Structure 1
């Protein structure tokens, strides 16, 4: 007989932390006119094991409200309805439309050095509960999307905002307007600090779109400074040799000082002659890749799983410059949930209903033409389920028992391709269609193309959608499911993003 599994020691401290986590979840109850309805809070990327030294590895796990069974039922029925293409004008987004003026992010309540840690914790717990209650009472509550419900994660943001002299906000340029919270800009202005916006992943969109976003954001927010960046795991600005993202590094412990405390900190500008730069952004925007490129080697592990960075880390770029990396968190907003899925705020593997996001994607891109798939039933009209079935048929995704088309797996595959940029949807700034010619001929285009490492001819060859089916099976265990090897010659070639820089050596 197999031996029984050895019991894992469970200390009193661990039990206390578990009870505190349950208590926090119980405070997130939604009060309605019909009574008190409990909404499940799901912990994203939950780790069943404990960290070294008995540390609670789930202390900073992302937490969101879970959809009700009724909502899931409605969404699954919608997946069978016909797709209605969206005009290009509707792809223009304005941050103000998704971050209402009366919806801000939670800020650290007033404190003083006479308060004990227990008093501080109780005050912050009470403040956060009142903050959630105020959101639930607002007119925007029904439109609210996923946002961070873990107080511990917000405490990390408070710590970074207190320490930094300059705030570095990193966004994915494809969804820049839905990742830029104006309330954070206003807060930094009130603190008399500087703010830099980094438009990341600019290799995935046309140069004119990048120029359009910079023009719009710098006009709407005059004190904002905008920079460009594109990350590549096998190359960085400091040289061609780099550690593979996610691998351990011998100098990792010597370079990074992990700090999980939320103790008091009185800000002093350029304290001890050191410039502190806080790095903030939503999950999966590429903060860790940016830090690794700045350091010239892997100092922060990279993962596509949201919430991979658990707590803020202090990294010394030079003896006089330090970077404070905050965990990725989702700010309260009315950004549509499908967009949050596409930009990586919520783990695709934990989606209970992916077809709404497939609809959002398919109504803005010609997916049948892009994927070169045939309708599974030979019809002329497409639905989100038809798109998934067509992709499952082409890739050979079948269920284990009944050998039916594995629609859910196909949907996950398409969403991962969209997250990676192999199926590329980007949103435009307001007025982009009207001023397209101006953006395509502005002086900024030359510099953007240099950062993208694209020549003019390469950009002309670059299609509106970048996709590469040849490496789609990176997320699949069965590599021989794809028998359509002739498609590799038809897929778009993606240029080396740092070819121009490499040529300077």
Structure 2
């Protein structure tokens, strides 16, 4: 009888690679080829989950985000570029125009016509066929070679179609740091011109940038899109912060305090916009009363305190024929790209946690219907990456693509370092005592400071350091914000505009606070260096000097 084979050592790394290869084989459910048919693009699911039971529309990966995988040749070139020195970019080149990244020919998939006589199978087949044709048309267009990551899962687009059908008013949320690259004009034209519905643009996270830049984006977008109402919002106003807002070098270290409460200032701006739209068709007095009650109880830190009633509806996936203000209820759809803060905004409007929040793109799998008051209903749509020519590094900084899935982070580090003085912000020394920095040098310097070492050889863990820096940029601790066209020349007029009073009111910052400071949920970066420990002691001293503003409504009234 043949003898058994000798056992060969099988490392954990090899096992991991084997499992990854198996997952890739299972995950290649969509393979799209170019118009010539000579090349093919692999499609990966960035939040893939093991299947449970048989496949189909009800499987666990139904809502998995899907993107094209970059080729190995592209990765090799990018890694070589990471060794080249940085070329600082002047402020003027940090101005961006949405028209440059959203060509008119580049639109998003819209739901094809349907009626109630169609069976579910017929409707599904029609939508699958339409979506495939849509992708084929994109591949055949002149913009195909410049298109960045965008959503390839039809199920996610179906969630958008559903929300657009249900809502009376669409609330488009964008991160004000990258407002021009998160606002697809094709969505505005479709909602306003085709669906004949009203649209409100929410500039979220306004506490991360100067008030003058917020006003500049508001003016630019309002002029570019007639009838568009632009409002301001932050889920973490100044009086919800504790400790110092920055360290000695300027790195942002803002922290939240207290329980989840309603952000009355931002909610008031959204309420005012909705009042102008609905006029007397819907009674919004209960919403206004809810905001006033929450504002009067801002300093009540009891965990059990709740204002008003919240009703969470079970997700409705049936067909829907829209009827405006049906039964006297205003339905507000919340749409935006991943990580713009949609779920946080809804929690801040409600005054308590009703929607799960995560920094991972694709965390919200399907739309959720929540009653703010008996007359106001919110619909939260999953984050969607619209087709655009936005550069990939910016998509990564915006949070449209998961940092954990990056195969090459140094191109994004270069984009960040050429616009911010990272060595000064991070207080790092050149690993080779040189005066010229490259993306790899910055990552090595950060790894050396934080003690990021590989497990076996104890070398500097450059990739982990790059991952850490990108997460800090996503959180806003390293704050990069882009400007609208003409901001550099007209900076002074924007910084002295009368509207800044309302922007600062929503930001709720004191005069001593820096408006460019950022939010950090926790000290997730740890305290591995002695300098960081010194900063923490400084935070305790600065916290005593922070002035809390109790009632922002009174503050605004006093200015008048």
Relative to the length of structure 2, the TM-score reads 0.78
Name the SS of the counterpart of 1:458 in structure 2: coil
Name the SS of the counterpart of 2:200 in structure 1: strand
**Structure 1 pair 400–497 and aligned structure 2 pair: CA distance change class (3 A):** farther
**Structure 1 pair 333–265 and aligned structure 2 pair: CA distance change class (3 A):** same
1:298-447 correspondence runs (5 A): 298-447=353-502
1:213 to 211, 217, 237: 217
Relative to the length of structure 1, the TM-score reads 0.86
Name the SS of the counterpart of 2:377 in structure 1: strand
Q: Which residue of 1 aligns with 2:32?
A: 29
User: Taking CA–CA contacts closer than 8 Å with sequence separation of 6 or more, which of the two structures ends up with the larger relative contact order?
Assistant: 2
CA distance in 1, matches of 2:42, 2:528: 37
* Deviation readout 1:446-501 (Å, 9 max, x if unpaired): 11111111234434xx5x6x479xx798445xx46333323446789799898454
Q: Which residue of 2 aligns with 1:11?
A: none
**Structure 1 pair 496–127 and aligned structure 2 pair: CA distance change class (3 A):** farther
Q: Which residue of 2 aligns with 1:277?
A: 332
Name the SS of the counterpart of 1:158 in structure 2: helix
Q: Which residue of 1 aligns with 2:277?
A: none
Larger of the two Rg values belongs to structure: 2
CA distance in 2, matches of 1:50, 1:339: 35
CA distance in 1, matches of 2:104, 2:548: 40
Q: Which residue of 1 aligns with 2:342?
A: 287
1:137 to 132, 136, 140: 140
Unpaired runs of 5+ in structure 1? Answer: 1-17
Q: Which residue of 2 aligns with 1:223?
A: 227
CA distance in 2, matches of 1:172, 1:320: 28
2:530 to 476, 483, 486: 483
CA distance in 1, matches of 2:417, 2:547: 27
Unpaired runs of 5+ in structure 2? Answer: 1-22, 237-255, 263-293, 556-560
Shift of residue 350, structure 1, vs aligned partner: 1.3
Name the SS of the counterpart of 1:118 in structure 2: helix
Where in structure 1 do 4 or more consecutive aligned residues deviate above 4 Å? 240-244, 487-498, 502-505
Q: Which residue of 2 aligns with 1:9?
A: none
Q: Which moved more, 1:216-225 or 1:145-154?
A: 216-225
Contact 1:289 1:302 in 2 (8 A): yes
Name the SS of the counterpart of 2:131 in structure 1: helix
1:147-296 correspondence runs (5 A): 147-190=150-193, 191-232=195-236, 234-237=259-262, 238=294, 239=298, 255-259=311-315, 261=317, 263-296=318-351
Contact 1:307 1:328 in 2 (8 A): yes
**Structure 1 pair 501–139 and aligned structure 2 pair: CA distance change class (3 A):** farther
Shift of residue 38, structure 1, vs aligned partner: 2.5
Count of residue pairs the alignment pairs up: 467
Shift of residue 144, structure 1, vs aligned partner: 0.6
* Deviation readout 1:326-357 (Å, 9 max, x if unpaired): 00110000001111111111111111111010
CA distance in 1, matches of 2:492, 2:430: 37
Shift of residue 259, structure 1, vs aligned partner: 1.7
Q: Which residue of 2 aligns with 1:87?
A: 90
CA distance in 2, matches of 1:397, 1:65: 31
CA distance in 2, matches of 1:472, 1:359: 26
CA distance in 2, matches of 1:384, 1:276: 47
**Structure 1 pair 398–503 and aligned structure 2 pair: CA distance change class (3 A):** farther
Name the SS of the counterpart of 1:76 in structure 2: helix
Q: Which residue of 2 aligns with 1:6?
A: none
